[in-house]
Amino acid sequence: MTPETPRTAPAGRHAGRYATSLGGEAVELFAQRALLWTRARTLFVADVHLGKAAAFRAGGVPVPRGSTAGDLARLSSLVHASGAARLVVLGDFLHAKAGVVPALDDAFRRWRDAHPSLAITLVRGNHDANAGDPPGGWGVDVVAEPCALPPFLACHAPVSPRTGYALCGHVHPGVRLSGRGDESVRLPCFVLGRRRAILPAFGRMTGLALVAPSPDETLVAIAGNDLFRLPS
């Protein structure tokens, strides 16, 4: 299958969504930092980092509580809005062993009970290798990268495959936009190329890594509930 240059659907078709084509398949990007493979009703997110705040607190860093509840609420909203039957996490579902505390276990089990028919697959990332697989009661299938979902390859670390189209995470991509004077803002973004896409980090407590796109890549930035393609 010949890779395609990403293209958008008519502007304003759906608030908070951006329609395009990757690897010959229709997909939608969500401002809530997810990608929906429309035909397969499969939702992709990357770098959730559940338990990161708890891990920080275990290390003596007094970070606020509530990030896990917020991320799980956003994930529920995405599952309902997209009509997804399957969720694929492109690595770093958990942040660290120290973050897998009873409160997180209870919160995710309640979340899972609210979505009993949703199939969940985790493609192991570097943090997952250290944190360990999710508890068995969470109902998450765990696989190594790359996970073939033709025409897609679900990966954590970015790759540019010779065949197929890779959906990746790990980078936490962001872009800095500058205005007049010294005004600037850093925004999360999707990086869409001819052979791969890099998704923004789903977890809110993750930070951004500024990216410089190659000539064949398009950046789609997220500002609140708006997504917009940046000029080359």
| 107, pLDDT greater than 70 | yes
- pLDDT at position 204 is 74
Mean pLDDT value of segment 63-72: 68
Confidence category of residue 179, pLDDT binned at 50, 70, 90 = confident
Task: Give percent of the chain with pLDDT exceeding 70.
Answer: 84
Mean pLDDT value of segment 208-224: 92
Mean pLDDT value of segment 173-177: 92
Q: 11: which residues sit within 8 A by CB, 6+ positions away?
A: none
Mean pLDDT value of segment 59-73: 63
Confidence category of residue 66, pLDDT binned at 50, 70, 90 = very low
- pLDDT at position 1 is 29
Whether the CB-CB separation of 56 and 208 falls below 8 Å is answered with: no
- Concatenated DSSP letters of 40-79: TTEEEEB---BTHHHHHHHTT--PPS-HHHHHHHHHHHHH
CATH architecture of residue range(s) 17-229: 4-Layer Sandwich (3.60)
Mean pLDDT value of segment 86-114: 85
Confidence category of residue 19, pLDDT binned at 50, 70, 90 = very high
| 109, pLDDT greater than 60 | yes
- pLDDT at position 220 is 96
| 208, pLDDT greater than 60 | yes
H helix intervals, 83-200: 102-113, 126-131
Which residues are 50's β-sheet partners? 94
Q: Which residue has the higher pLDDT, 103 or 88?
A: 88
Confidence category of residue 95, pLDDT binned at 50, 70, 90 = low
Could you list the beta-strand ranges (E) of the chain: 17-22, 25-30, 34-37, 42-45, 86-89, 119-123, 141-143, 147-149, 152-154, 165-168, 173-178, 184-192, 196-198, 209-210, 218-223, 226-229
pLDDT in tens, 117-164: 999 999 998 878 887 888 888 999 999 999 999 999 999 999 999 999
- pLDDT at position 69 is 85
- pLDDT at position 96 is 63
- pLDDT at position 14 is 59
**CB neighbours (10 Å) of residue 117?**
6
Whether the CB-CB separation of 23 and 151 falls below 8 Å is answered with: yes
Amino acid identity at 210: L
